[in-house]
Structure 1
Amino acid sequence: MRYSQVKLATFQARPNRFIANCQLNDQLVVAHVKNTGKCRELLLPGATVALTYCPSPQRKTDYDLIAVLHEGRWINLDSQIPNDLAADGVRRGLIALPGIAQVAAVRREVVFQDSRLDLAGTSRDNEAFFVEVKGVTLLDGELAAFPDAVTTRGLKHVHTLMAAQRAGYQAYLLFIVQAAGITTMTINRRLQPELAAAIAAAQAIGVQVLVYGCQVTADSIEVAEPLRFSLDADFILPG
């Protein structure tokens, strides 16, 4: 995935979760933040950020904030891109689904029971599967964690994946870490211990947890290598 018309700016402030004030050359601009997470450890005054220029009469801002340079590496903040990367990666075989020999079809935004899961599909052998995708931007060195804010929706999705697994589907929880240099991914138990407990219960009945890192620049992001998932790793928010 490559973004067009990318400009580097300096982050100033985030008046609310939807917008950021940024210094672009000699102009103060307002950008839409494509991530409603807190990102407090990333969006710091003076940080270099990547903006895409996308003016439209239907928009309130001319720019989207898509990435931030933090401790020497670019972190993509576009919360919509993990689903695009996942769908493309599964279709092309860049993201392997253990137990699915060859993917035949992939659909997006499919309802199961009372939830909408990100991906559904079938294999060449007519095995049916569901994939729920979560983007990850909370990092500390080589360790990544999810979530950065309590997510009742995410907890519900884990329970839905468990129901799908029990109903005969193969269910996957896929984390896309939107940065390079990560080796291990965990759950932010200190923030949401019930999510970690639910994922452990899901794994116990056969739901598989997958993690993929990405290569990220100011204007691009692509799926890279699979990463290790460990519920035992202890994440402490930097600072």
Structure 2
Amino acid sequence: MKFPTPLVSGRLVKRYKRFLADVILDEDGSEVTAHCANPGSMLGLKEPGSRVWLSSSDNPKRKLKYSWEVMEADGALVGINTAHPNGLVEEAIRAGRVPELADFASLRREVKYGKNSRIDILLESADGAKTYVEVKNVHLMREAGLAEFPDSVTARGAKHLAEMSAMVAEGHRAAMVFLVQRPDCARLSLAGDIDPNYAAAFAAARSAGVEAYAVGCDVRVDGIDVDKIVELTV
């Protein structure tokens, strides 16, 4: 995935109200408010003074011109925009970078299923077999080299696991794909101390036949691409 226009660099002042971030731009020292498309806690990624990069838009219908895309943390570039993971995983699947999900004839996004839910990606093979793919963004790292999910309580995530288990019970495949938007993690585990209910739901889903995979990203200021498999330690 390439950013359509060059990103603008700056320093983080603060992230607040979940979806807002104040940033001092490097180019002229002005302070702007950027959209932060990330509903999580962003644990470890909110330090004032952190170097950040923003995309900009000239769309007059937008309330905020800037969107927070990338930041520097622990010596690495980290992608924080949760609007990108579904597209990044789609690109990776189409490019064959997730070998277990390579056999498909069609790929659709945001397909209704279960009880008033939408699956992130639905794969269908030539014979009509379906694979339901749920994508989760990951950028929490509390131990060097180990990514963790989630960074806050996610009742919605537990609900998705139950609905994917139901799809397996109906004879379909279902797979969780964790997208690690930072290049400094080779392993991924669950943050059971942050959300024990999600950890329990994940264990139940795996027992029910839901598959799980993790992939890592090369994060740059000109774009983000899936470039490796991350080891699951759960």
TM-score if structure 1 supplies the norm length? 0.91
Kindly provide the amino acid, as one letter, of the partner of residue 145 in structure 1. E
- Cα distance in 2 between the residues matched to 1:48 and 1:180: 17
One of 39, 57, 61 as aligned partner of 1:36: 39
Match status 1:77 vs 2:64: no
- Cα distance in 1 between the residues matched to 2:102 and 2:177: 17
Across the aligned residues of Structure 1 and Structure 2, the Cα RMSD in angstroms comes to 1.4
Per-residue displacement from partner, 1:9-52 (whole Å, max 9, x unpaired)? 00011232111111113211111112122214112111000111
Q: Do 1:90 and 1:103's aligned partners in 2 also have CA atoms closer than 8 Å?
A: no
Q: Do 1:103 and 1:124's aligned partners in 2 also have CA atoms closer than 8 Å?
A: yes
SS in structure 1 at match of 2:64? coil
Per-residue displacement from partner, 1:118-149 (whole Å, max 9, x unpaired)? 11121234321100000001113100111111
- Cα distance in 1 between the residues matched to 2:102 and 2:71: 37
Pairwise mapping of residues 101-180 of structure 1 onto structure 2 (< 5 A)? 102-114=103-115, 115-140=117-142, 141-180=144-183
1:201 deviates by: 1.5
Kindly provide the amino acid, as one letter, of the partner of residue 136 in structure 2. K
Match status 1:92 vs 2:95: yes
Per-residue displacement from partner, 1:179-200 (whole Å, max 9, x unpaired)? 1021111111001112111111
- Cα distance in 2 between the residues matched to 1:195 and 1:28: 38
SS in structure 2 at match of 1:8? strand
- Cα distance in 2 between the residues matched to 1:101 and 1:38: 33
Q: Do 1:55 and 1:61's aligned partners in 2 also have CA atoms closer than 8 Å?
A: no
Match of 1:54?
57
Unpaired runs of at least 5, structure 2 = none
SS in structure 2 at match of 1:36? coil
1:63 deviates by: 0.7
SS in structure 1 at match of 2:185? coil
- Between 1:157-166 and 1:133-142, the stretch displaced more is 133-142
Unpaired runs of at least 5, structure 1 = 232-239
Kindly provide the amino acid, as one letter, of the partner of residue 65 in structure 1. W
- Between 1:153-162 and 1:59-68, the stretch displaced more is 59-68
1:101 deviates by: 5.9
SS in structure 2 at match of 1:103? coil
SS in structure 1 at match of 2:162? helix
Match of 1:11?
12
Kindly provide the amino acid, as one letter, of the partner of residue 232 in structure 2. F
Q: Do 1:55 and 1:63's aligned partners in 2 also have CA atoms closer than 8 Å?
A: no
Per-residue displacement from partner, 1:213-234 (whole Å, max 9, x unpaired)? 0110123110011111122xxx
Q: Which 4+ residue blocks in structure 1 deviate beyond 3 angstroms? A: none
Q: Do 2:6 and 2:55's aligned partners in 1 also have CA atoms closer than 8 Å?
A: yes
1:67 deviates by: 0.9
Match status 1:203 vs 2:206: yes
Q: Do 1:135 and 1:176's aligned partners in 2 also have CA atoms closer than 8 Å?
A: yes
Match status 1:223 vs 2:231: no
Q: Do 1:101 and 1:123's aligned partners in 2 also have CA atoms closer than 8 Å?
A: no
- Cα distance in 2 between the residues matched to 1:104 and 1:223: 21
